[in-house]
C-alpha cells in the first residue's frame, strides 16, 4: 500500500510517499524558517500564503522522487489538526482535491500521532505498547501508546510546551528562531552548575510546567542588564537545558516504572535534543528499558511520519469524507 502524505500544519510544506507504513520512498520538506526568522516566530498569514505557493510543487517532487504516478497511489493521508487553521487548510484542500479527482480513499491524521509514528520508520522492530514523551513546539505530552491508533495522554504541560520554552529562552539570550537547536549546541560549551534554574512540579504527578524556568531565565537576563553585566549565553543554555531535561527524564522514568513499561520513545522537534537523548539513554539503560527516538530529520515536521500514521489509520478502517476540515485544536486520545 502506497500512501501519499501531506503535512502543512505549521511552517513546513511537506509531502511524502510511504509504502506499507514504514518504507519511505520519498520525503520532501520545504521549510519557511528563513521567512519567519526575522519576526522571531511563525507568522500564520505568511505561513498560509507560502503553503499555497509551494504545495503543488512539493507533491509533484515527492511523486517524482519516489518514481510513482498519482494513479499508483492507494491512499491520500493528510494532517487535519492540530496546528494553524489557515496552514492546515492548504494541505487538507490539496488532499481532498486529489482524493476526489483520482477517486482514492482519504485519511485524516492527527499531527501528534504523526510525530509518534516517526519512531516506527526509524525502528522497524518497534511495536506498541510503549510510553512516548512527545516534546514539540506546541505540545509536551506523556502518552501511553496502547496500539497503533489508540493513545492515552497521562501527562501534559499546564503552560508552555518544551519547544516553546526553548524558543522563548533562545530569543531572550539573543539567538534567532528556532532557538532549540542553537541552545542545544551552546549548552555543550556551558557550565550547567553556573546558574540554578527551577525544576517545576518535579514530584507532583505527570503534568509539566515550563513557564517558571522561562521566567527565571528572563529574570536572570534582566538582572544582568540592570547591573550592566554581560550574560554568559553558554552557561544559561546549559543550566536551562539541564533543568528541562531533568524534569522530562524524571517524570518519564517515574511513569514507565509505575506502568511497568519497558519501551520508551521520544517524539517531536525536541526529541532531536542531544542532551535529552543522552540523559534518557543513561537512565533507560540503568533501568533495563529500551529507548527509541526518530532520526533527526523525522523529529521535526515532515510528511513521512504522517504517511506512516495514515497507513495504520487506514488499516483500522479510518476514512475521511469530502467534508474533512482543518481542526486547529484537535485532541489526541482514545477513539
Ligand atoms: P507541534 O508539533 O506541537 O504542532 P511544531 O510542529 O511547531 O509543534 P516540531 O516541528 O515538532 O514543532 O518541533 C519544533 C520545535 O522543536 C521548535 O520549538 C524547536 O526549537 C524545537 N527543537 C528542534 N530541535 C531542537 C533541539 N535540538 N533541541 C531543543 N529543541 C529543538
Ligand atoms: Mg516547524
Ligand atoms: Fe510538529
Model pLDDT, residue 37: 87
Q: Is 35 exposed, middle or buried (0-12, 13-18, 19+ CB in 10 A)?
A: middle
The predicted-structure confidence for 281-334, as pLDDT tens digits, reads as follows 999 999 999 999 999 999 999 999 999 999 999 999 999 999 999 999 999 975
The predicted-structure confidence for 152-198, as pLDDT tens digits, reads as follows 999 999 999 999 999 999 999 999 989 999 999 999 999 999 999 99
The predicted-structure confidence for 206-261, as pLDDT tens digits, reads as follows 999 999 999 999 999 999 999 999 999 999 999 999 999 999 999 999 999 999 99
Q: Which helix (H) or strand (E) holds 133?
A: strand 130-135
Of 70, 73, 61, nearest in space to 18 by CA? 73
Of 274, 255, 146, 275, nearest in space to 208 by CA? 255
Pocket test for ligand 1, best of 82, 112, 113, 136 (most atoms within 8 A of CB): 136
Average pLDDT over residues 261-272: 98
DSSP string, 148-207: SS-EEEEEEBSS--HHHHHHHHHHHTTPPSS-HHHHHHHHTTS-TTSS----TTTTSTT-
Grid coordinates representing 313 are 489509520
Q: Which atom of ligand 1 is nearest to the CA of 135?
A: 11
Q: What is the DSSP code (8-state) at residue 208?
A: B
Ligand 3 center–CA 13 separation, angstroms: 12
The predicted-structure confidence for 4-39, as pLDDT tens digits, reads as follows 999 999 999 999 999 999 999 999 999 998 899 888
Residue with grid cell 500564520, as numbered in its chain? 44
How far apart are the C-alpha atoms of 319 and 52, rounded to whole Å? Answer: 25
Model pLDDT, residue 210: 97
How far apart are the C-alpha atoms of 207 and 211, rounded to whole Å? Answer: 13
Q: What is the DSSP code (8-state) at residue 317?
A: T
How far apart are the C-alpha atoms of 302 and 286, rounded to whole Å? Answer: 32
How far apart are the C-alpha atoms of 29 and 298, rounded to whole Å? Answer: 11
Please tell me which residue, 236 or 202, carries the higher pLDDT value.
Answer: 236
Could you tell me if the CB of 167 is within 6 A of ligand 1? yes
Distances in whole angstroms, Cα of residue 45 to Cα of each of 48, 86, 326: 5, 7, 16
Of 104, 77, 64, 95, nearest in space to 18 by CA? 77
Instruction: Look at the pTM and tell me if it is higher than 0.95.
Output: yes
Distances in whole angstroms, Cα of residue 193 to Cα of each of 67, 185, 236: 53, 17, 10
The predicted-structure confidence for 105-131, as pLDDT tens digits, reads as follows 999 999 999 999 999 999 999 999 999
- Residue 335 scores a pLDDT above 80: no
Q: Is the alpha carbon torsion for 168, 28, 127, 275 positive or negative?
A: negative
Q: Which atom of ligand 1 is nearest to the CA of 179?
A: 20
Model pLDDT, residue 83: 98
Ligand 3 center–CA 181 separation, angstroms: 15
Could you tell me if the CB of 235 is within 6 A of ligand 1? no
Quickly state the pLDDT bin for 201 (edges 50, 70, 90). confident
Grid coordinates representing 8 are 502543512
Model pLDDT, residue 334: 55
Amino acid at each position: 500500500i502506497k500512501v501519499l502524505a501531506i503535512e502543512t500544519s505549521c511552517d513546513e510544506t511537506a509531502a511524502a510517499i510511504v509504502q506499507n507504513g514504514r518504507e519511505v520512498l520519498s520525503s520532501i520538506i520545504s521549510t519557511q524558517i528563513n521567512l519567519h526568522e526575522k519576526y522571531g516566530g511563525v507568522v500564520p498569514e505568511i505561513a498560509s500564503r507560502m503553503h499555497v505557493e509551494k504545495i503543488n510543487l512539493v507533491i509533484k517532487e515527492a511523486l517524482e522522487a519516489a518514481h510513482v504516478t498519482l494513479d499508483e497511489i492507494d491512499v491520500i493521508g493528510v494532517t487535519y489538526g492540530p496546528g494553524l487553521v489557515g496552514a492546515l487548510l492548504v494541505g487538507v484542500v490539496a488532499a481532498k482535491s486529489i482524493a476526489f479527482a483520482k477517486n482514492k480513499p482519504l485519511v485524516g491524521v492527527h499531527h501528534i500521532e504523526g510525530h509518534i509514528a516517526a519512531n516506527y520508520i526509524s525502528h522497524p522492530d518497534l511495536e506498541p505498547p510503549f510510553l512516548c514523551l512527545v516534546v514539540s513546539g506546541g505540545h509536551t505530552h506523556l502518552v501511553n501508546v496502547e496500539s497503533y491508533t489508540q493513545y492515552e495522554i497521562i501527562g501534559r504541560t499546564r503552560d508552555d510546551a518544551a519547544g516553546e520554552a526553548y524558543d522563548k529562552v533562545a530569543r531572550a539570550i539573543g539567538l534567532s528562531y528556532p532557538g532549540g537547536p542553537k541552545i542545544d549546541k551552546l549548552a555543550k560549551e556551558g557550565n550547567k552548575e553556573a546558574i540554578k534554574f527551577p525544576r517545576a512540579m518535579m514530584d507532583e504527578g505527570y503534568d509539566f510546567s515550563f513557564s517558571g524556568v522561562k521566567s527565571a531565565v528572563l529574570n536572570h537576563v534582566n538582572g544582568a542588564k540592570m547591573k550592566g553585566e554581560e550574560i554568559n549565553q553558554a552557561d544559561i543554555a546549559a543550566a536551562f537545558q539541564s533543568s528541562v531535561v531533568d524534569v522530562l527524564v524524571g517524570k518519564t522514568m517515574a511513569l514507565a516504572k509505575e506502568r511497568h513499561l519497558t519501551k520508551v520513545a521520544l517524539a517531536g522537534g525536541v526529541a532531536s535534543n542531544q542532551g535529552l537523548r543522552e540523559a534518557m539513554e543513561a537512565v533507560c539503560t540503568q533501568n533495563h528499558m529500551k529507548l527509541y527516538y526518530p532520526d533527526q530529520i523525522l523529529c521535526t515536521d515532515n510528511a513521512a511520519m504522517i504517511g506512516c500514521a495514515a497507513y495504520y489509520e487506514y488499516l483500522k478502517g479510518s476514512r475521511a469524507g469530502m467534508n474533512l476540515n482543518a481542526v486547529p485544536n484537535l485532541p489526541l486520545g482514545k477513539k
